[in-house]
Structure formats: C-alpha cells, structure tokens
A and B are shown apart, each in its own frame.
Chain A
Amino acid sequence: MATTQPEFEHPNKAFGLAARDSSGLLSSFNFSRRETGEKDVAFRVLYCGICHSDLHMVKNEWGVSTYPLVPGHEIAGIVTEVGSKVEKFKVGDRVGVGCMVDSCRTCQNCEDNLENYCPTKTLTYGEKYSDGTITYGGYSDSMVADEHFVVRIPDGLPLEAAAPLLCAGITVYSPLKYFGLDKLGLRIGVVGLGGLGHMAVKFAKAFGVNVTVISTSPNKEKEAIEHLGADTFLISRDQDKMQAAIGTLDGIIDTVSAVHPLLPLIGLLKSNGKLVMVGAPEKPLELPVFPLIMGRKLIAGSAIGGMKETQEMIDFAAKHNVKPDIEVIPVDYVNTAMERLAKADVKYRFVIDIGNTLKTSS
C-alpha cells in the first residue's frame, strides 16, 4: 500500500497515462514531479515514442513492474525551467530524455561515459529514484531530469522524429560504432524490421555500409529496399537464398527479441564476423560453437548507449537526416497502438502527440 499518493509525493502537479495492472491498459493518471533542483532541467513534454519495452513493462512481462506505471523513455519537449547550477540548457531549448535519468557518476563505467552500464543507474520509469520515489516516464505532460541525462535536440530535427532516437536510435547506433560496423564498404545484416531494425538500416546507410535486411516477412521487402534503402532483403526461411548468402556479411545487428535460431545467422557471417544482439530474448539461445570457432566469429550484446554517445547520435542524425518512420497518434489512441504494436502492425514507431492531445482530466 502506497504511503503517499502519487499526486502528493512532489510539489509540482503532473498528469499522464499509467497502467494500473498487468492488463497493460493505460488510463488517466494524476501524479507529481519533484521541485526543479539546482542541476535539474524541467520541460514540457511534446512527444513521446512508444518503445516495445513500454509494452513489455505495462504487461509486467519481465516481472519487474510496479503499478501504477507511467511508461515512456523516448521523450522530447521544450525546457520550462532550469536549476541554478545548470550550464548546458536554458528555457525554450529543445531537449530530450531517453532510457535513464540517473547513475552513480563515480564508477568506472560512469567515468567512461558508459552510464548505461552503471550497476546503479536509474531507468526513466518504473524504478526507485534516489529520493525513494518511483520514476514516471514520458507518457505525461512534464518531465524533470538532471541535466547530465538530458540531450539537446538540434533545430533541424523535428521533435517527433527525435523522440524515437532516444531509445531505438541509440540502441543500434552504439553497437554499429563500437563493433566497427560503421566503416564504409562493409556489408552488414539487420535482423528484424521494426522500431530498432529500421533505424539500424538508416544509420548503416548513412555510414556508407551495404545493408541486407533479414526478415521472416516477405511483404516487408519492397518497403525495405525502396523506402528504407536496404541493398538486399533475405527471407530467413528461404533456404536457397540463405545458402547463397553464406559468408557474406561482416556483421549483423539482431533486433529480434523472440527466441530464434542463431546458426543460420552465424553462417551468414564472414570469418571474423560479428553477431550483435540488441533484442533480448527471455530464454537462452542455442549457440553452435563449431561455426564460431571455425570462422573466428563472435556473438555480443549491447544496451542503449551512454549520454555522450546519445548526444553524438542525435547530432549525427540531424546532420545526415536520419529520422525514424513514425505514426503520430493522439493520446486516446495509446491502448489501440499498444495492441497494434503487439502484432508488429506499425511502420515503424508510434509517437504520442502529447503536446496537442494530452488534456488534464479536470
């Protein structure tokens, strides 16, 4: 039983959408945000992307959810207030917040700009913050965060396009860079063509990399090639085509979070090839060791990115016009959007138009 009602926990009233139980249905929710501290940036939320993680969390599919849960970690808006010690932002700035709002700031990972790997980082929603309260995400009218975890959104990048970059974008950008898959002329594969997958294709093309989309859905081919700019499309169940593509890829970004076979993907890699998982299936996957050894191949994982890299990614996206394909929806469509998302029926990210459609209940 909550000791303090969410509305009265903090001094600043806030309003948003919360899931109340594992049905995952979202409904109006009155709560509150903390006073803007000396290092904090407060902003009016205009747009928030719907990440598949939001769906997993509202339904408690990972078993870590506490209710009421206000999801949303692809948050974009305009600064309304800054604390006295804030150096990087001022009122009126276009900003965003992604998957985390705090970290210890002292461990080796934090010092190396890898806050995303800090063992005590605080996620943007559904986690206990340092003041003991639970964090609430971006399906809401306002947001406040330490300036370290706020990114600037360049003028040339529309806020609704910037929002999905804050999770989907950085989640694929970071491993493309870290694993050296961003070099001109390389050939990479992208498994799965959803929110993450389509961003991986776009960033890879912006890096000058040859892209093969690997998918189970034949009807995504035209879109992948003509619209997203992929060079080749492989249907993973087409044995002949998969056979012909053996040993052709320098790397693969695997965005699929359902359990799936790794052997065919490892076969597509050249020797020294890298299979990078950014989707996280709940069950362990079978990893055949022979092909890994015979080709000096590797399988690795990656999770979002640090703050410095997230800003770098946003700036790169603005400069090279890398924008997600989005479907902007009003607040009252959110539950329908979640249902469609569960069926992968979106090209390729829903973005909630908070600024224009979130009305307080009173």
Chain B
Amino acid sequence: MAKSYETELPLKAFGWAGTDTSGTLSPFNFSRRENGDDDVTLKILFCGVCHSDLHTLKNDWGFTTYPVVPGHEIVGVVTKIGNNVKNFKVGDKVGVGVMVESCQTCENCQQDLENYCPKLVFTYNSPYNGTRTYGGYSDFVVVHQRYVLQFPANLPLDAGAPLLCAGITVYSPMKYYGMTEPGKHLGVAGLGGLGHVAIKFGKAFGLKVTVISTTPNKKSEAIERLGADSFIVSNDPEQMKAATGTIDYIIDTISADHSVLPLLGLLKLNGKLVTVGLPSKPLEVPVFPLVGGRKLIGGSNFGGIKETQEMLDFCAKHNITADIELIKMDQINTAMERLSKADVKYRFVIDVGNSFSSL
C-alpha cells in the first residue's frame, strides 16, 4: 500500500528528495508535524550541501531509506514558536544542524554530548515517531527548541550554514583532543568542506597549519587564500619524509579509502590523528608506529548543541565562515556530480529561500 507522504502529518511541506541509489534528486511533496509547545518552526533560507548528503543519497553506507530529503546545515528564520519556547522569537535567525532529537536522560545527553546519545535522531533519514525525519532541502522544518541554534547577528547566513556540520565536525575534536595550544603544529589531511574550515580554526587557535593533500594544485590556494602555513603532497615520498615527526596533531577529513601509515609518520611523540571523514572500508592500522610513538587514532562525530552554539559564537568573533558556491535548488543534481569529483571550493549552499515559490 503506497504511503502518502503528503498526508501522514498535518502540515504540507515541499522539498527535493532522492528516491533511489542513483542519488538523483527531484521535487517531493511531503508533510511535517504541527508546531508543538516545545517546537520552533523555521522557514529555511539556506542549506549547505554536505558530502554526507551525497553518501546518503547513494546509500553508500547502507542505511538509507528512500525517499530521503537530505540537508543538515540549515539556516532559517523563525516563523512560529511553541508556548514553552522562551529563547527564540518569531523573526530570529536560527540554525539546525545534524540532529533533531536525543533521549535527554543518558550520561551523554546529561553532559551536553547529545551527539553520542544512543537514541540520537538525525535531521534526515532517521526513524522518528512512526515516520522519518526529512532535512533541509525543503521549505521549512519544525524542530524541538533544544536542537535549534541561535545564529549570531554578524555571521552571514549563507556562508555560515556549513558551520552547522562542517564547522562543528572539526571544531569539536580540535577542542576535545587538545589541538588548540598556540604554537603547536596542526596537519589538515584533505582539503574539502571539512578541511578548509579546519585550516581557519587552526589559524584562529594560533596553530601552525600544514595541509596534507594528494592534489598539488591546491597549494597556492591553501597558502595564499586560506592561510595555511605549508602544504605537503602526500604521495610525494620526499616531502613526506622531510616532514616526519614534525606535526603535533592531524585532522583527517578524507573520506576516500586511504592509508594512515604515512600520516602517523608525520606525527611527533604522543601525536594524535583524529579521523572525521567516513571511509566505507576499515582503515589498516599498523600498530608498531602507535606503540613506538605513543600515538593515537581517535574519532569524533559532529558535536553537542552547547558546543555547536559555542562554535558559532567563536566563528562570529573570529570572522570564520565557509567558502561557498551558492546554488538554486534545481541545480542540486549538477552540484552533486561536481561534489563527487571534489569540484567545489569548498561547499555548495542551496539558496533555498529564493528557490521555491512562496507558500
């Protein structure tokens, strides 16, 4: 029996959805819940295109349920608030990131680490109250106030949208793993959506930043425009050798399958390699370099709400935004193709507010 996406919930909604593993998006009529006492409704103005959106559309990770409306770098304006909502008012500029619900009672939730809650609900593609969550490639969204971020006044809405996933995804581990001591040396592996923001945070923390990339022609951009201090081509053995044991910590943003051994070699004693990219295959980890240098490989997954707000405020203070290419919703399929070839500097952002005819 065909489910009616348009009628399963009371409010009509419109967006673009992927319907099969081709990942091609097309217009999609669906529905959202009423704004409850604790909810905030926001009209979506901008939504960043995260590589996770592409992975999910193509079911690369094996847990996509179609139709899927991606988008978890959502910036919009509040149009309605519930009776219990005190911190937001209509007209506020707000953001919604990677999650829209968690249990609020487990140890992680109690410590503002909702992103590690076992009952986490993602902004899209998660089961939720008998239906599923649909993300920001759409006209509006209704979210519990706990998971809505205040968007700082001096942060541009379009270039700030990617901070809600890309930003927090590198900010959180940089804080947690102590990659913030001025003067220390940060390596950023991979120069894409996550990588370019990591450079900016690194410089804001007073670190020396080296980009590690397979693409030599990204060098002048990385240094001259993004502010990195140096650039190593990872498949150049001589450059890698010269940099052996010189880096305190590395943020590995690469989601393609790759070898970590060369990256481990760049680390000093007690060095930390933090992986935030999500390769589809396991990494091969040679244990000897870990043991011989007391090095570690850690993971991190976006961040809790409190920390995401802290990150946004930090960005507003230090004038950190993403480098974006603004597109209309109907250009999304072309953008996805280009994204799959890493042909973007460095994040597509959908100008949602100007893409759909007004409701």
Contacts and interface: CB of A to CB of B under 8 A. Distances in A.
A301 B116 contact: no
A100 to B, nearest CB: 13
A150 B300 CA distance: 41
By size class, the interface of chain A is 35 or more
B291 interface: yes
A289 B298 CA distance: 9
A289 B292 contact: no
A271 B276 contact: no
B36 interface: no
Interface stretch (A74-82, A88-96, A278-286, A346-354): A278-286
Interface string A268-300: 000110100111111011111111111111111
A84 to B, nearest CB: 34
B222 interface: no
Interface in B176-192: 176
A287 B284 contact: yes
Given A284-B286, A293-B276, A300 B295 contact: yes
B241 interface: no
B126 to A, nearest CB: 14
A178 interface: yes
Contacts, number: 107
Contact of B278 (A263, A282, A285, A290): A290
B287 interface: yes
Given A271-B108, A292-B275, A293-B301, A300 B284 contact: no
Interface residues of B, number: 32
Interface string B217-248: 00000000000000000000000000000000
Contacts of A65: none
A114 B275 contact: no
Nearest to B173: A296
Interface in B261-299: 261, 269, 275-276, 278-279, 282-299
Contact of A302 (B279, B291, B300, B301): B291
Given A299-B290, A302-B294, A286 B301 contact: no
Contacts of B282: 263, 286-289
Given A286-B282, A289-B275, A298 B290 contact: no
A302 to B, nearest CB: 5
Q: Is the interface of B mostly helix, strand, loop or mixed?
A: mixed
Given A114-B269, A284-B284, A297 B298 contact: yes
A144 B297 CA distance: 39
A325 to B, nearest CB: 24
B299 A298 contact: yes
A298 B296 contact: yes
Interface SS of chain A: helix, strand, loop or mixed? mixed
B287 A281 contact: yes
Interface string A150-167: 000000000000000000
A296 B301 contact: yes
Q: Most chain-A Cβ atoms within 10 A of its Cβ — which of B116, B287, B294?
A: B287
A109 interface: yes
B291 A292 contact: no
Interface string B30-42: 0000000000000
B113 interface: yes
B8 to A, nearest CB: 29
B285 A287 contact: yes
Contacts of A262: 285
A303 interface: yes
A280 B291 contact: yes
A207 interface: no
Contacts of B292: 117, 280, 301, 303
A300 B297 contact: yes
Contacts of A114: 269
B300 A293 contact: yes
Contacts of B299: 289, 291-298
Interface in A23-79: none
B294 A285 contact: no
Nearest to B277: A289
B226 to A, nearest CB: 25
Contacts of B291: 277-278, 280, 301-303
Nearest to A274: B296
B108 A287 contact: no
Contact of A271 (B113, B295, B297): B113
B56 to A, nearest CB: 14
A294 B302 CA distance: 9
Closest 9 CB pairs of A and B: A301-B290, A292-B299, A301-B291, A298-B298, A300-B296, A293-B299, A284-B284, A271-B116, A287-B285
21 contacts: A114-B269, A271-B108, A277-B287, A277-B291, A279-B287, A280-B288, A280-B292, A284-B285, A287-B284, A287-B285, A287-B297, A289-B278, A289-B283, A294-B301, A295-B116, A298-B296, A299-B285, A299-B297, A301-B288, A301-B291, A301-B294
Interface of B: 108, 113, 116, 118, 173, 176, 261, 269, 275-276, 278-279, 282-301
